[in-house]
Structure 1
Amino acid sequence: MNDTNQFAAGRDRSLRERTGRLLGQWGVFARGFLEHPRMVGSVIPSSRFTIEKMLAPVDWDSCKLFVEYGPGVGTFCEPVLERLRADGALIVIDTNPLYIDYLRRTIHDPRFTAVLGSAADVERIVAEHGHDAADYVLSGLPFSTLPAGVGPAIAAATHRVLRPGGAFLVYQFSKRARDFMAKHFDQIDSGYEWRNVLPCELFWGWKT
């Protein structure tokens, strides 16, 4: 990288950091939605009711690695870390550097790792961080608006990276995500949470 590119990268990073401090969590979340609406499910973070219901089936005693796609500003991160065992790990993956920068600056837990990348590369990311498989994968990515082919690729990669008995946890505003999941997960439990903006569909795909 030449000096000009280094300067530009440093300037952009500094701007993101200043913006994050000025806007706070809600501002960062809204900015990420406005910049990449097809990659963010909502302009408002998930409610505590959605969080509780989504995480309820997780066996935390046996969870060594929890992975989240599209963490945004970390709405699920703290609840997961509160429940996660002391020797467990949480890896979050997002394509938006605004969110990754924010999470790296605000979450200081040795079990937490924020990765700038695609959920479709979850197998490589998990392996690079010293794990053989994930116990649970959580996703709020908007499958109905992802670019063509990305949704099926993520569903397939998620099934491969999960250990037997693990689960793919998905919350969406539509049922389309279930179609991607059904090609790989024989057992899919479903739910619904109306105390959320907007009310959302919940799915738990189990790797049997």
Structure 2
Amino acid sequence: MNNRRSHIGVVDRLLFVRQFLRHPMQVASLVPSSRFLMRRVLAAAAVDRGGLVVELGPGTGGTTRAILDALPPDGRLLSIELNSHLHRLVEAIPDRRLIAHRGSACELPAVLAAHGFAAADAVVSGIPFSTMPRAVGARTAAAIAECLAADGRFVAYQASARVAELCRPHLGPPRVDTELLNFPPMRVFRWERTGG
């Protein structure tokens, strides 16, 4: 089992690198996130509370699997991936709580509605706000803010601080932590909506 998991990890890393080289504006990093970063992200998003978690940019599915491991049995995970190859990898994960959707994060309100959801309890994003066109980043930030539940959380793990600038008009200033045990080191930005 450990050999199989190790083999899958190597394959995932190679796929990640290949997709990064083909689509550098869509894929955030050359290597998948470390378990230390994932632990910090899951805690910031309070995934263990359940409800609906939305994942933007799942890549090869490493974060998707980590979210599913932490998510309660009655929770749901809606994963949104623009890259068709990476979407197929996530779609193949066998978990009844997972809905894999191919599309853009900018379309988040329409995607939620299409799957019968009114709002997200948590949104987790690894998409690279620093490399996407500013107008796309601004639309994505507005879409996330529009879709958060009254006590919802938005967590973005990024190498750049541009996400904070783009989200400030919609969600205010974030709380920021840094995870050094990742390559590259990542900042974890967290917003929590309080009240209506």
TM-score (norm 2): 0.90
Offset of residue 185 of structure 1: 1.1
Identify the residue that residue 116 of structure 2 maps to in structure 1: 130
Offset of residue 26 of structure 1: 1.9
Q: How many residues align?
A: 186
Unaligned runs of 5+ in 1: 1-20
Identify the residue that residue 127 of structure 2 maps to in structure 1: 141
What do the CA deviations read for 1:61-82 (whole angstroms, capped 9, x no partner)?
A: 5421000111000121111111
Letter in 2 for 1:137: V
What secondary structure, in the 3-state scheme, does the structure 2 residue paired with 1:202 have?
strand
Question: Partners of 1:57 and 1:196 in 2: how far apart?
Answer: 16
Residue identity (%) = 37
Letter in 1 for 2:42: L
Offset of residue 101 of structure 1: 0.9
Question: Partners of 1:147 and 1:58 in 2: how far apart?
Answer: 26
Identify the residue that residue 65 of structure 1 maps to in structure 2: 52
What do the CA deviations read for 1:19-38 (whole angstroms, capped 9, x no partner)?
A: xx9x8322221121111001
What is the root-mean-square deviation in Å for CA atoms of aligned residues? Answer: 1.6
Offset of residue 187 of structure 1: 5.0
Query: Does the 8 A contact of 2:45 with 2:124 survive in 1?
Result: no
Query: Does the 8 A contact of 2:47 with 2:122 survive in 1?
Result: no
1:44 and 2:28 matched: no
TM-score (norm 1): 0.85
Identify the residue that residue 65 of structure 2 maps to in structure 1: 78
Q: Which has the larger radius of gyration?
A: 1
Q: After superposition, where does 1:47-196 map in structure 2 within 5 Å?
A: 47-60=34-47, 62-105=49-92, 107-196=93-182
What secondary structure, in the 3-state scheme, does the structure 2 residue paired with 1:149 have?
helix
What secondary structure, in the 3-state scheme, does the structure 2 residue paired with 1:183 have?
helix
Question: Partners of 1:50 and 1:72 in 2: how far apart?
Answer: 15
Unaligned runs of 5+ in 2: 1-7
Identify the residue that residue 4 of structure 1 maps to in structure 2: none
Question: Partners of 1:139 and 1:81 in 2: how far apart?
Answer: 15
What secondary structure, in the 3-state scheme, does the structure 1 residue paired with 2:18 have?
helix
